[in-house]
Structure 1
Amino acid sequence: MSHSSAILRTDHGAAPVNDWNSDLYLKFENERTRAARDLLARIPSFEPKVVFDLGCGPGNSTELLATTFPGASVVGIDNSENMLAVARDRAVAATFLKQDIESWRPAQEVDLIFANAALHFLPDHPGLLTRLSSYLRPGGRLAVQMPDIVHELSHAAMRMVAADGPWASRLVPIAKSSVVIGPPQEYYNLLTPLCRELDIWRTIYIHPLDGPQGVVDWFEGSALRPFLDLLSPDERADFLSRYREKLAEAYPRQPNGKVLLRYPRLFFVLQK
């Protein structure tokens, strides 16, 4: 299947990974929540009664939704027990359910479906987004943000290290299963028949981090997980050492010692 017709590519033959580590994920909480705030800010003003936060993680986005829409029933959906435990303590005004997004079906029509950095893990975006849109009441909104970083230097370095080491036979299939997000016009053409209004945009964030180790810390709680979960402790240390070396080459230090991590994200808000 070509990239243009697929929109997103994954490989379900990849080995399953361990549960998410909320501590690692929240180490960069402000930076990660910024995209959720930017997505929320572009939702036209309305008063939803039923809001679902798909892939809610540790509840940082759910907390934003509950605060912004105090009159709504806000429900967070995630498949990680670790993340949901943190979310329940954090966003006490919301309800949380353990469920996969692919199998999620609401009992009634929904006013707002919010998915911040979650849908890029799932295949078949034409089918997925058509299905999610069908759950909206007339006038309801679907708001989505997806990292679009596979082609950035940070991820190219992961793939190079995965292919150049004693672990290659285990990690190359993971590297080849990297998610690929299509260009904005593909989503525009997919979504416009499903809605009355569509706002779609792409933002490149620049995150100053504390050297190559800062980049490692950022991805150790997310994109590095599928690689590291297949390695022994000694192999993990070796892998990360090699990855830091690649990052030092890819990200020159600025005069203040920081390195600048480019992080593109694709956004859209549709109104049914």
Structure 2
Amino acid sequence: MVWDPQQYLKFSGHRLRPAVDLLMRIPDVGPRTVADLGAGAGNVTKLIKERWPSAAVTGVEGSAEMVAAGRKAAPDVEWSHEDLGHWRPAKQYDVVYSNAALHWLPNHAALFPSVMEKVAPGGMLAVQMPRNFLAPSHVLIGETAMDGPWRSKVEHLVTPPPVEGPAFYHDVLAPLSQNIDIWETEYLQVLEGENPVKEWTKGTWLTRYLDVLEGDEKAAFEAAYGMRVAKAYPRNAAGQTLFPFRRLFIVAQRKG
């Protein structure tokens, strides 16, 4: 999947809020090393470095476009261009932080213990993932995929939600943790502009489908989804679009 940093950052304020909420919930364990998994365009990685200026912070990101943007946003951070699914660092980190990234990877029953193994004893794992996949914004992408001449090209992308419920992650991480805090927050995002929910998903989940298509078919798919999602999220009297968005948070301290 090819990431477009400019498209992703169209709603940078709304996307940044849960990242900051997660960062502020991490106890100050005085980390010397921090890894930011799925560091994206570096706007959050920069804040991590500002919170712990003496720590060696590494931004791990699989998109070359995002790494290039990240190096500009956070030049005092070490950047590693590698696929998160193959992240095998030679050392453990005092804090492993991941904002809106791990839902792109499969098999969370194995993934989360594997990531926790990269946390030093007494260190912190902090994760935020969207859990909005049963909302119209995402369900309608699948409906569009299954209802058009493009179906044979994109139907393999219509899969069950990639993020489980809170109890699943508690059961997976509790045996490895001495403290664990898991919660959900639904943000009521007030968006401006023409069909902003389409533009939001175009920066993330919709991109998976558009990347498979080309030319007129790609434009037709986007337009068909755009019509559906505009009806699902109409503007209010003030011309704004209210977009509720649920997110799952995990802060776990590894057993020491």
Please report the TM-score for the alignment, with normalisation by the length of structure 1. Answer: 0.90
C-alpha offsets along residues 38-67 of structure 1, whole Å, 9 cap, x if unaligned? 000110122100000001010011101000
C-alpha offsets along residues 197-248 of structure 1, whole Å, 9 cap, x if unaligned? 0010001111112366211111112111111112222112222221122112
User: Where does residue 204 of structure 1 map in the other structure?
Assistant: 186
Query: Amino acid of the residue matched to residue 231 of structure 1?
Result: L
Q: Does 1:92 align with 2:75?
A: yes
SS class of match (2:195): helix
Gap change, CA 1:211 and 1:153, over 3 Å in 2: farther
SS class of match (1:27): helix
Taking the aligned partners of 2:30 and 2:113, their CA distance within structure 1 comes to 23
Range 82-91 or range 182-191, more displaced: 182-191
Match of 2:10 among 24, 27, 37: 27
Taking the aligned partners of 2:123 and 2:150, their CA distance within structure 1 comes to 47
How far 1:24 moved relative to its partner? 0.5
% of aligned pairs identical? 40
Q: Runs of 5+ in structure 2 lacking a partner? A: none
Whether contact under 8 Å (2:104, 2:162) holds in the other structure is: no
Taking the aligned partners of 2:92 and 2:209, their CA distance within structure 1 comes to 39
Count of residues in Structure 1 that have an aligned counterpart in Structure 2: 254
| Residue pairs, 1:171-190, within 5 angstroms | 171-175=154-158, 177-190=159-172
User: Where does residue 247 of structure 2 map in the other structure?
Assistant: 265
User: Where does residue 238 of structure 1 map in the other structure?
Assistant: 220
Taking the aligned partners of 2:172 and 2:23, their CA distance within structure 1 comes to 22
Runs of 4+ displaced beyond 6 Å: none
Whether contact under 8 Å (1:197, 1:270) holds in the other structure is: yes
Taking the aligned partners of 2:195 and 2:218, their CA distance within structure 1 comes to 14
Taking the aligned partners of 1:192 and 1:255, their CA distance within structure 2 comes to 47
Query: Amino acid of the residue matched to residue 134 of structure 1?
Result: E
User: Where does residue 66 of structure 1 map in the other structure?
Assistant: 49
User: Where does residue 108 of structure 1 map in the other structure?
Assistant: 91
Match of 1:162 among 129, 132, 145: 145
Taking the aligned partners of 1:67 and 1:178, their CA distance within structure 2 comes to 37
SS class of match (2:44): helix
User: Where does residue 119 of structure 2 map in the other structure?
Assistant: 136
Please report the TM-score for the alignment, with normalisation by the length of structure 2. Answer: 0.95
Range 63-72 or range 118-127, more displaced: 118-127
Match of 1:221 among 203, 209, 214: 203
How far 1:140 moved relative to its partner? 0.3
Q: Runs of 5+ in structure 1 lacking a partner? A: 1-16
Taking the aligned partners of 2:160 and 2:64, their CA distance within structure 1 comes to 24
Query: Amino acid of the residue matched to residue 269 of structure 1?
Result: V
SS class of match (1:20): coil
Query: Amino acid of the residue matched to residue 215 of structure 1?
Result: V
Query: Amino acid of the residue matched to residue 175 of structure 2?
Result: P
Query: Amino acid of the residue matched to residue 239 of structure 1?
Result: F
Query: Amino acid of the residue matched to residue 153 of structure 1?
Result: P
Whether contact under 8 Å (2:134, 2:161) holds in the other structure is: no
| Residue pairs, 1:46-57, within 5 angstroms | 46-57=29-40
Whether contact under 8 Å (1:133, 1:142) holds in the other structure is: yes
Taking the aligned partners of 1:271 and 1:123, their CA distance within structure 2 comes to 23
Taking the aligned partners of 2:69 and 2:40, their CA distance within structure 1 comes to 8
How far 1:259 moved relative to its partner? 1.4
User: Where does residue 37 of structure 1 map in the other structure?
Assistant: 20
SS class of match (1:149): coil
Taking the aligned partners of 2:231 and 2:26, their CA distance within structure 1 comes to 40
How far 1:186 moved relative to its partner? 1.1
Taking the aligned partners of 1:225 and 1:82, their CA distance within structure 2 comes to 14
User: Where does residue 230 of structure 2 map in the other structure?
Assistant: 248
How far 1:28 moved relative to its partner? 1.0
Taking the aligned partners of 2:238 and 2:54, their CA distance within structure 1 comes to 46
